[in-house]
A and B are shown apart, each in its own frame.
Chain A
Amino acid sequence: AQSVTQLDSQVPVFEEAPVELRCNYSSSVSVYLFWYVQYPNQGLQLLLKYLSGSTLVKGINGFEAEFNKSQTSFHLRKPSVHISDTAEYFCAVRKNTGGFKTIFGAGTRLFVKA
């Protein structure tokens, strides 16, 4: 079985500062990894995904994430955040041996302050 741990429940940061949202996963098989974003009162939408190949993955809105197999991590980063990045971010994992079942982390709420 797979599991996901998001290490911070809330991350406050000032506008234009860099941010890192941390995600660790556990799995006995190889996995695909995803980051989703949820803006207030909306459903989730995909930010980026890691399937294979380059461990640095770039997504929408200037976000990127790095897959580290030895540390079983998939941390999300942005070099300079905007007020509009205030949202909840979810890390998710799915085994790559077939099937669509996806397990989500508990979420990290990012607050960007002016």
Chain B
Amino acid sequence: NAGVTQTPKFQVLKTGQSMTLQCAQDMNHEYMSWYRQDPGMGLRLIHYSVGAGITDQGEVPNGYNVSRSTTEDFPLRLLSAAPSQTSVYFCASSGGVAGSIYNEQFFGPGTRLTVL
């Protein structure tokens, strides 16, 4: 049971480039989310999904796209990278037996992204 996995661990982009951050979980969780972590600002929700085919925007969605074609995967796409997107990105999942709403979120190890 690998939990929540994220790739890559580190990435450097040039302004204007696009890329996809990968996230996968093997716990059959319904809920998955993407956060960015910036110094002094905690974790801010970018996008989330409550099941395959269902996504919604969080607090800071601009410049990011998501899709959820399977329960396991929830990739985050940067359409045209900007220096303001330099951050650490965390994917998280939650759910479990009978979709229990009491369950906490399980986090991946993060992706450290630098946009030059």
Chain A residues in contact with chain B, CB under 8 A? 6, 9, 32, 34, 36, 42-46, 49, 51, 90, 96, 98-107
Contact = CB atoms under 8 A, between A and B. Distances in A.
B107 A104 contact: no
B109 A42 contact: yes
B42 A51 contact: no
Contacts of A106: 40-42
Interface stretch (B11-19, B63-71, B76-84, B98-106): B98-106
A99 B50 contact: yes
Contacts of B109: 42-43
Nearest to A51: B102
A4 to B, nearest CB: 8
A41 to B, nearest CB: 8
Given A32-B102, A98-B101, A100-B48, A45 B42 contact: no
A107 B102 contact: no
A43 B90 CA distance: 7
B27 interface: no
Given A43-B109, A46-B104, A51-B102, 14 more contacts: A42-B109, A43-B90, A44-B105, A45-B107, A90-B42, A100-B48, A100-B101, A100-B105, A101-B48, A102-B33, A103-B45, A104-B35, A105-B42, A106-B41
B68 to A, nearest CB: 13
B40 A44 contact: no
B31 interface: yes
